[in-house]
Amino acid sequence: LGSITAVRVLGDGLWAGAQNGITCFDLGSLQTRGTIPSTCQVTGMVEFQNHMFAAYRNGDIRIFDAAGNQVHFLPSRGEHTSNTSVEIMMHPVANVPMLLCGQQYGYITAYDLPSLNPRGSFVCEERSDVKAIVDAKFGGVFLTAGLLGDIMAF
């Protein structure tokens, strides 16, 4: 599948996102369970409620159940045409889970879960691809790290 870009555990499976898709391995035997091919690079994955959310370089988001079946597809749209990182956290006021998608040029788009309705977009550091988003798990604070060396707290 090419270079590995993300690794996550879901249940008893190890999910490896790569240049050309996702391969799932059994954690007990490390034997391959299956592969989900893609023509676009996986840039990040995050587990939520026994599902794996996979973010793709072209801005697509695909959601898979623990068996690797795609249960939802959110295509890139509007200004959300790239994914460079992904995180899930609770909204500090609405108290609903949100999917945060880091993008090129410093943008983040937030989606409410489970509806995947867009909550909004904002820019962290202009022209600095968002390479990491981390939920601080304190008071709704999250951190971003950008390609230009910037670290920001929101």
Distance of CA 122 to the CA centre of its chain: 17
- Going by their DSSP bridges, the two strands 97-102 and 85-90 should be labelled as antiparallel
Angstrom CA distances, 69 to 35, 59, 115, 130, stand at: 11, 20, 19, 28
Contact 94, 111 (CB under 8 A): no
Tokens 């867009």: give the residue. Answer: 118
Phi, psi dihedrals of residue 42, rounded to the nearest 5°: -80, 125
Q: What is the pTM of this model?
A: 0.93
Ordered mean pLDDT values, 10 residues apiece, the chain (154 residues): 93 97 96 96 97 97 97 92 96 93 96 93 94 94 96 94
